[in-house]
Chain A
Amino acid sequence: MPASCTTPVREGMKVQTQNPKIAKLRRNVMELYISDHPLDCLTCPANGDCELQDMAGAVGLREVRYGFEGKNHLDGATDSSNPYFSFDDSKCISCSRCVRACEEVQGTFALTVEGRGFDSRISTGQDNNFLESDCVSCGACVQACPTATLTEKSVIDNGQPDHSIITTCAYCGVGCSFRADMQGDKVLRMVPDKNGKANQGHSCVKGRFAFGYATHQDRITSPMIRDNIEQDWREVSWEEALAFAAKRLTDIQEEHGRNSIGAITSSRCTNEETYLVQKLVRAVFQNNNVDTCARVCHSPTGYGLKATLNESAGTQTFESVMKADVVLIIGANPTDAHPVFGSLLKRRLRQGAKLVVADPRSIDLIDSPHTKAQHHLKLRPGTNVALINALAHVIVDEGLEDADFIHSRCDDASFQQWYKHIQDQRHSPENTMEITGVDATELRAAARLFANAGNGAIYYGLGVTEHSQGSSSVMAIANLAMVTGNIGREGVGVNPLRGQNNVQGSCDMGSFPHELPGYRHVSDESTRNLFEQEWDVSLDCEPGLRIPNMFEAAIHGDFKGLYCQGEDIAQSDPNTQHVQKALSSMKCIIVQDIFLNETAKYAHVFLPGSSFMEKNGTFTNAERRISRVRKLMPALAGKEDWQVTVALAKVLGYEMNYEHPSEIMDEIARLTPTFSGVSYERLDQLGSIQWPCNEKSPLGTPIMHTEDFVGEKGKFAITEYVATPEKANKHFPLLLTTGRILSQYNVGAQTRRTANQVWHDEDVLEIHPNDAEDRGINDGDWVGIASRAGTTALRALISQRVQPGVVYTTFHHPLSGANVVTTDNSDWATNCPEYKVTAVQATKVDEPSQWQAEYAQFSQRQAKYLKNKNGGEIVKT
């Protein structure tokens, strides 16, 4: 009798799934399973949620004829090494689902079946436990396990959930849909939602397990104020805190002028919250000094894609990659930073799609189990534009362009100008080799592979945008997609992998100082009139200050007050000492956050924020997919973030009347053509919606630019390579580039307060063996890293991932001071910082840098000021 899971369907086949013979066989198989399974169902953590238990009932198993004596696996050991789940070998039925999940869904191949016959057991290989194995803790095996073998520790400790709510992950830009399994107001576990269109039932270690930060003891749940930053905090009522904040902001504007204050919105907050903060700035502060953390990550995407494709957004769905024939990844590390998309991509690569990676560092995708890049273009940091131009040059030079697409879809004048420019021999791989360090033959081969692909898709990340030519790189990528006709259908496109959960949304919502929601310039009178009528105010028609401009103005005494919601600029922005100087120069910093983050140490007002579990709203992911965030528990501080902004506006004399975030979305839809069809009702009906969603596309727009580029032709942009001013020399001979790691997220405020610390409890400096040897540096040594901006010290990790002359680190821990070293250099068009190129020297040291010592003292003082709130007495309501 063939097993359905291994028998291909063929024409004319008659399939019977139920008859007495099959029922008997199933019962017999179940009997064998149960003969070697603990009979502890009533005390088993999976009781009530066990497929084995359910099937034993379904097949009517009443007795086990073989008895329970003799050889069995009941004394199998439990591996509890993973902080989030355990593996109880005694309950394993060797069904291999976990192995298949690890291979087919996650693509890590960390699990295998060891032994044969009766001795077959699930293994993490090489006698490792889960923690020491290649397992990335995505949870796919736990989800697939039909017994209690692989079970979340939270379920073992607390029992089964009593209800579930679908919501959206608050980590990276993939925007995974999750089923929050609850016991009352407590989140027991997060299980990836199989109906989630972004993640299709998959997850990563952060979204799946690292949610405990939301109820961490470090949460601050009462408003606090102080006159200056070297004072104890004073816990006060919401009314007092808001009145204090409002008076300070009003006084500053009276003394220093209307433009002396501003705000920063957060890509970790919802669309509705972000919208309200920019509304507060424009309608109440009466200026356009609003910016968002996208400034320091994907602002070049907004600029570059608008200039070429006429819309500031990626063109595809994630699912689209399953139709790609060649995937070009530039400056992105999906398996670490966008893990669920990374798994999907690996699935496509295992099906045969080809991969080209352009990255100064050897990322996992280049050579991992069953996936290998055809070409790794290991360029020097800061030379993306030269490399992408060279790819385009080969395509034009060898006549590989898609003439039909160019003729029918692109602006001819801009193409002709670009064509003439890119044909010049200075862009040839042979001539750019000296700049990029990439072998010309390899680059030509990669260009041909991409150009000749049926479907060529480009994915890029912060390794493209965070450069002095970030915007040029984005435009060069758009040029490459257009010249090869890889826009406007499935399997192709220009795909920015957004760092944070709501980077796309925060940009859509008008967080930039020059744009109202929907990317419409503040100088556009008709747009301004629309908002003026809705908001009943007159609006400033001039752009406001960007974040770095705010810092400059603060240092020079012109910018005095900042409302910063859910963002930690003191840790995340470059040249930390410059940022600290700017923050120290202000008279009023209002921080709204769930923790006393690094920026809050410079604050005068702390307004407790609400985590994604405590509020309703929406996030928009990197696919332009708007998904609901649903409230799982009451806000710990008593107010959701949007309510705080409404309350602040009210104290400042402006009424915002909303009863629920759905009403904010209704307002956004009224004012923003690309959102006009979006409502909570429709989101609940459809699950999620990719904008534009309007009369023309009532169900949203999965693939952009299928017929035109938002009513226009695609525009080629001239992107000349201009070397960064950040040069290596004899004093700073190495180039530092920074990035992210799987287990931690951004500044680490969330993940550092979870068990993810077990994988990465400090940032380290990756250094090539040759560079380490030259400096007498051994693995684990403390290394001082000095740049033109500052000095810090990290432990060394000697690694061949980086090329000689290049060092790499992450910025997840504040004491690491990675951004003490990064400089003020920024993208020419958007001021996005050049995190990816800093000239440094590395030397063996035996103590922290001066900055680190001073920072440690400052942090200790700030911790004391927090502890001393209310005179050191704990007053909790």
Chain B
Amino acid sequence: MSDDRLKYVVDMANQIALNLLHGKEQQQCVTEISHHINRFWAPSMRAQLAEAANNDNYQLEAMVILALKQIKNEQ
């Protein structure tokens, strides 16, 4: 898996978080991020995001990491 590929999904996820984290409680924000990723992302992209979350080279927003946990728990 190339770095560019993971960076691409990390940037996308962080951008989603940046736009959804305002004016809400943390749990609502986490739920909205996980819902968005589940609803609009292909499974291959979700898998890449999960891979990036396990790699220290990528700076995932805290809310995205929580959202990924929620996605995993819901599976």
Chain A residues in contact with chain B, CB under 8 A? 259, 288-289, 417-418, 420-421, 468-469, 472, 513-514, 521, 523, 542-546, 549, 552-553, 556, 558, 718, 720, 722, 828-831
Q: What is the minimal beta-carbon distance from B36 to any residue of chain A, in angstroms?
A: 7
With A549-B45, A552-B8, A558-B44: A720-B19 Cβ-Cβ less than 8 Å:
yes
Chain A residues lying within 8 Å of B12, measured Cβ to Cβ, are 828, 831
Interface membership of chain B positions 2-18, coded 1 if the CB is closer than 8 angstroms to chain A and 0 otherwise:
10110010001001101
Q: What is the minimal beta-carbon distance from A701 to any residue of chain B, in angstroms?
A: 26
Query: Could you tell me the distance between the alpha carbons of A42 and B18 in the complex, rounded to whole angstroms?
Result: 73
Chain A residues lying within 8 Å of B16, measured Cβ to Cβ, are 828-829
Chain B residues lying within 8 Å of A259, measured Cβ to Cβ, are 42, 44
A468 touches B40 (CB 8 A): no
A556 touches B42 (CB 8 A): no
Chain B residues lying within 8 Å of A514, measured Cβ to Cβ, are 39-40
Chain A residues lying within 8 Å of B36, measured Cβ to Cβ, are 829
Query: Could you tell me the distance between the alpha carbons of A417 and B23 in the complex, rounded to whole angstroms?
Result: 7
Chain B residues lying within 8 Å of A523, measured Cβ to Cβ, are 39
Q: A469-B19, A543-B39 are in contact. List 12 more A-B contacts (CB 8 A).
A: A468-B15, A472-B19, A523-B39, A545-B45, A552-B5, A556-B4, A718-B22, A718-B24, A720-B19, A828-B18, A829-B40, A831-B12
Q: In the complex, which residue of chain B has the Cβ closest to the Cβ of A418? A: B23
Q: In the complex, which residue of chain B has the Cβ closest to the Cβ of A830? A: B40
Chain A residues lying within 8 Å of B5, measured Cβ to Cβ, are 552, 556
Q: Within B1-59, which residues are at the interface with A (CB < 8 Å)? A: 2, 4-5, 8, 12, 15-16, 18-19, 22-24, 36, 39-45
With A472-B19, A552-B8, A556-B2: A417-B24 Cβ-Cβ less than 8 Å:
yes
Chain B residues lying within 8 Å of A828, measured Cβ to Cβ, are 12, 15-16, 18-19
Query: Could you tell me the distance between the alpha carbons of A829 and B4 in the complex, rounded to whole angstroms?
Result: 20
B42 touches A722 (CB 8 A): no
B8 touches A521 (CB 8 A): no
Chain A residues lying within 8 Å of B45, measured Cβ to Cβ, are 545, 549
Query: Could you tell me the distance between the alpha carbons of A259 and B16 in the complex, rounded to whole angstroms?
Result: 25
Chain A residues lying within 8 Å of B24, measured Cβ to Cβ, are 417, 718
B23 touches A829 (CB 8 A): no
Query: Could you tell me the distance between the alpha carbons of A722 and B21 in the complex, rounded to whole angstroms?
Result: 11
Chain B residues lying within 8 Å of A472, measured Cβ to Cβ, are 19
Point out which of B15, B16, B22 has the most chain A C-beta atoms below 10 A from its C-beta: B15
Query: Could you tell me the distance between the alpha carbons of A528 and B37 in the complex, rounded to whole angstroms?
Result: 20
Chain B residues lying within 8 Å of A468, measured Cβ to Cβ, are 15
Q: What is the minimal beta-carbon distance from A452 to any residue of chain B, in angstroms?
A: 27
Chain B residues lying within 8 Å of A722, measured Cβ to Cβ, are 18-19
Chain B residues lying within 8 Å of A552, measured Cβ to Cβ, are 5, 8
With A552-B8, A829-B36: A544-B42 Cβ-Cβ less than 8 Å:
yes
Point out which of A289, A544, A552 has the most chain B C-beta atoms below 10 A from its C-beta: A552
Q: What is the minimal beta-carbon distance from B25 to any residue of chain A, in angstroms?
A: 10
Query: Could you tell me the distance between the alpha carbons of A513 and B4 in the complex, rounded to whole angstroms?
Result: 23
Query: Could you tell me the distance between the alpha carbons of A468 and B2 in the complex, rounded to whole angstroms?
Result: 25
Chain B residues lying within 8 Å of A469, measured Cβ to Cβ, are 19
Chain B residues in contact with chain A, CB under 8 A? 2, 4-5, 8, 12, 15-16, 18-19, 22-24, 36, 39-45
Q: What is the minimal beta-carbon distance from B61 to any residue of chain A, in angstroms?
A: 12
Q: What is the minimal beta-carbon distance from B49 to any residue of chain A, in angstroms?
A: 12
Q: What is the minimal beta-carbon distance from B34 to any residue of chain A, in angstroms?
A: 14
Q: What is the minimal beta-carbon distance from B35 to any residue of chain A, in angstroms?
A: 11
Chain A residues lying within 8 Å of B43, measured Cβ to Cβ, are 542
A543 touches B40 (CB 8 A): yes
Selected contact of B23 from candidates A288, A420, A558, CB within 8 Å? A420
B42 touches A513 (CB 8 A): yes
Q: In the complex, which residue of chain B has the Cβ closest to the Cβ of A544? A: B42
Query: Could you tell me the distance between the alpha carbons of A552 and B41 in the complex, rounded to whole angstroms?
Result: 13
Q: What is the minimal beta-carbon distance from A513 to any residue of chain B, in angstroms?
A: 7
A-B contact pairs, 23 of them (CB 8 A): A259-B42, A417-B24, A421-B22, A468-B15, A514-B40, A542-B42, A545-B42, A545-B44, A545-B45, A549-B42, A549-B45, A552-B5, A552-B8, A556-B2, A556-B4, A558-B44, A718-B22, A720-B23, A722-B18, A829-B16, A829-B36, A830-B40, A831-B12
B44 touches A553 (CB 8 A): yes
Query: Could you tell me the distance between the alpha carbons of A468 and B16 in the complex, rounded to whole angstroms?
Result: 10
Chain B residues lying within 8 Å of A720, measured Cβ to Cβ, are 19, 22-23
Query: Could you tell me the distance between the alpha carbons of A377 and B69 in the complex, rounded to whole angstroms?
Result: 44
Q: In the complex, which residue of chain B has the Cβ closest to the Cβ of A385? A: B19
7 closest residue pairs by CB, A with B: A720-B22, A421-B23, A718-B23, A828-B15, A828-B19, A542-B43, A545-B42
Chain A residues lying within 8 Å of B19, measured Cβ to Cβ, are 469, 472, 720, 722, 828-829
Q: What is the minimal beta-carbon distance from A307 to any residue of chain B, in angstroms?
A: 10
Q: What is the minimal beta-carbon distance from A728 to any residue of chain B, in angstroms?
A: 19
Query: Could you tell me the distance between the alpha carbons of A544 and B39 in the complex, rounded to whole angstroms?
Result: 10
Selected contact of B42 from candidates A543, A829, A830, CB within 8 Å? A543
Query: Could you tell me the distance between the alpha carbons of A556 and B7 in the complex, rounded to whole angstroms?
Result: 13
A543 touches B4 (CB 8 A): no
Q: What is the minimal beta-carbon distance from B55 to any residue of chain A, in angstroms?
A: 16
Query: Could you tell me the distance between the alpha carbons of A206 and B47 in the complex, rounded to whole angstroms?
Result: 47
Q: What is the minimal beta-carbon distance from B11 to any residue of chain A, in angstroms?
A: 9
Query: Could you tell me the distance between the alpha carbons of A523 and B23 in the complex, rounded to whole angstroms?
Result: 29
Chain B residues lying within 8 Å of A558, measured Cβ to Cβ, are 44
Chain A residues lying within 8 Å of B18, measured Cβ to Cβ, are 722, 828
Query: Could you tell me the distance between the alpha carbons of A523 and B40 in the complex, rounded to whole angstroms?
Result: 11
Q: In the complex, which residue of chain A has the Cβ closest to the Cβ of B5? A: A556
Point out which of B5, B22, B23 has the most chain A C-beta atoms below 10 A from its C-beta: B23
Query: Could you tell me the distance between the alpha carbons of A307 and B68 in the complex, rounded to whole angstroms?
Result: 22
Query: Could you tell me the distance between the alpha carbons of A546 and B44 in the complex, rounded to whole angstroms?
Result: 12
Point out which of A421, A514, A549, A558 has the most chain B C-beta atoms below 10 A from its C-beta: A549
Chain A residues lying within 8 Å of B8, measured Cβ to Cβ, are 552
Q: What is the minimal beta-carbon distance from A543 to any residue of chain B, in angstroms?
A: 5
Point out which of B4, B12, B16, B36 has the most chain A C-beta atoms below 10 A from its C-beta: B12
Query: Could you tell me the distance between the alpha carbons of A289 and B43 in the complex, rounded to whole angstroms?
Result: 12
Q: What is the minimal beta-carbon distance from A461 to any residue of chain B, in angstroms?
A: 21
Q: What is the minimal beta-carbon distance from B16 to any residue of chain A, in angstroms?
A: 5
Query: Could you tell me the distance between the alpha carbons of A830 and B36 in the complex, rounded to whole angstroms?
Result: 10
Query: Could you tell me the distance between the alpha carbons of A259 and B46 in the complex, rounded to whole angstroms?
Result: 14
Query: Could you tell me the distance between the alpha carbons of A501 and B36 in the complex, rounded to whole angstroms?
Result: 29
Q: What is the minimal beta-carbon distance from B50 to any residue of chain A, in angstroms?
A: 15
Chain A residues lying within 8 Å of B22, measured Cβ to Cβ, are 421, 718, 720
Chain B residues lying within 8 Å of A831, measured Cβ to Cβ, are 12
Query: Could you tell me the distance between the alpha carbons of A720 and B18 in the complex, rounded to whole angstroms?
Result: 9
Q: In the complex, which residue of chain B has the Cβ closest to the Cβ of A824? A: B8
Query: Could you tell me the distance between the alpha carbons of A123 and B2 in the complex, rounded to whole angstroms?
Result: 66
Q: What is the minimal beta-carbon distance from A411 to any residue of chain B, in angstroms?
A: 14
Chain A residues lying within 8 Å of B40, measured Cβ to Cβ, are 514, 543, 546, 829-830
Chain A residues lying within 8 Å of B15, measured Cβ to Cβ, are 468, 828
Q: What is the minimal beta-carbon distance from B51 to any residue of chain A, in angstroms?
A: 13
Chain A residues lying within 8 Å of B39, measured Cβ to Cβ, are 514, 521, 523, 543
Q: What is the minimal beta-carbon distance from B59 to any residue of chain A, in angstroms?
A: 14
Q: What is the minimal beta-carbon distance from A555 to any residue of chain B, in angstroms?
A: 8
Query: Could you tell me the distance between the alpha carbons of A676 and B36 in the complex, rounded to whole angstroms?
Result: 29
Query: Could you tell me the distance between the alpha carbons of A65 and B22 in the complex, rounded to whole angstroms?
Result: 84
Q: What is the minimal beta-carbon distance from B19 to any residue of chain A, in angstroms?
A: 4
Q: What is the minimal beta-carbon distance from B9 to any residue of chain A, in angstroms?
A: 9
Q: In the complex, which residue of chain A has the Cβ closest to the Cβ of B15? A: A828
Chain A residues lying within 8 Å of B41, measured Cβ to Cβ, are 543
Q: In the complex, which residue of chain A has the Cβ closest to the Cβ of B41? A: A543
Q: What is the minimal beta-carbon distance from B27 to any residue of chain A, in angstroms?
A: 14
Point out which of A417, A521, A523, A543 has the most chain B C-beta atoms below 10 A from its C-beta: A543
Query: Could you tell me the distance between the alpha carbons of A523 and B38 in the complex, rounded to whole angstroms?
Result: 10
Q: In the complex, which residue of chain A has the Cβ closest to the Cβ of B22? A: A720
Chain B residues lying within 8 Å of A545, measured Cβ to Cβ, are 42, 44-45
Chain B residues lying within 8 Å of A521, measured Cβ to Cβ, are 39
